[in-house]
Structure 1
Amino acid sequence: MPVRSRRTLLTAAAVTAGLTLAAVTPALAGTGTSHTRTAAVSSAQGDPRDATQRVADFYGAYIDSVWAADDPAAAANAKALRAFYLSAAAQKKAADYERRNHADGILFAQNVPVKWKVAYTGSGMGHATSRVTLTWGDGAHAQVTRIEVQSDLRTLKITGLKPAG
């Protein structure tokens, strides 16, 4: 291939990459003309060895999955998340709760929260305890519920879930 053809090809590739980046960057940054309301996240980090972080990872991914009810992969993803993050006993208890109450056994509700927060509350006897705070709606009168989550410090699996006062 002649040098001029290679230079033209490389120039075209660079221009295409630049235009693609210019078009995609606003969408990734959330600065485009979107009709959905999103909050800016200044940073996020995690540690797969931290039990509380794993609870936060689970609830974030699980809520994303159940929120996206129109996505055909969402239900399968929520099921896979349960299998990965919860012990077998915790999965069974969540399923039992769902049969008895006709509500989600992870969220202890029939709908999906708009916000969530996870905080470490203590540890002992090989377990860590976290408090998940779920916010149902926006504004001054948004309802808040809390869930006590117990995790095994060796396996990092969630071993217990219960509504907290």
Structure 2
Amino acid sequence: MRSTIRTRFIAAGGVAAVLTLAAVTPALAGPTAATPRSAAAAQTPQGDPRSTTNRVADFYGAYIDAVWDNEDAGSAAVTKALRGFYLSDAARKKVAAYEAREHADGILFAQNVPVKWAVTYTGSGTGHSTALVTLTWNDGKNPEISKIKVQSDLATRKITDLAPVD
């Protein structure tokens, strides 16, 4: 009986601490200039390094950030390093061939930079996972979007193929 009361007391204290922290943390962080408080509170970025879909999302998020900030002196080095880390050798060669032929970015399949991106898992089989990357190119009532099919190796988690979806 005594251990049950002690366990409940400890659990109640833990719950109280978590609730207090949850209430205080957003107030300490404050709202961002670009995101209203209600939208910021609703977004909870998360990831899993074992997930190929998360890795595709991580890659596109970091890559788009680096390309967007192209005036930063380190931007080109960052994009090269990201390609080296996330893409297989074969995928890097395919991207380079596309860029030489089309004079456009072989990751985004465009000459400009999207304002938003999303990654959706679409399936897996024969040692690979596929994801669909949706790029949004402008804000407004009728935004222009494009889609890219991305294949990743389940063993290495490297991106092995990228192809625009018509």
Question: Which TM-score tier does this pair reach, normalised by the shorter chain?
Answer: 0.7 to 0.9
Counterpart residue number, 2:162: 161
Runs of at least 5 residues in structure 2 that lack an aligned partner in the other structure = 1-27
Q: TM-score, normalised by structure 2?
A: 0.77
Aligned AA (2:99): E
CA distance in 2, matches of 1:130, 1:25: 33
Tell me the equivalent position of 1:133. Answer: 134
* Residues in 1 aligned to 2:95 and 2:165: alpha-carbon distance in whole angstroms: 15
Partner secondary structure for residue 148 of structure 2: strand
| SS, match of residue 30 in structure 1 | coil
Once the two structures are superposed, what CA deviation does each residue of 1:21-77 show, in whole Å capped at 9, x if it has no partner? xxx954xx414xxxxx45754211100000000000000000000000111111100
**Sequence identity of aligned pairs in percent?**
61
Runs of 5+ in structure 1 lacking a partner? 1-23, 32-36
For 2:77, the equivalent position in structure 1 comes to 76
Give the TM-score of the pair, scaled to structure 1: 0.78
Q: How many residues align?
A: 135
1:53 paired with 2:54, answer: yes
In structure 2, what is the equivalent of residue 30 of structure 1?
32
Q: CA deviation at 1:84?
A: 0.2
Listed one character per residue, the Cα deviations across residues 85-117 of structure 1 (whole Å, up to 9, x for unaligned) are 000110010011000000000000000000000
Structure 2 SS opposite 1:70: coil
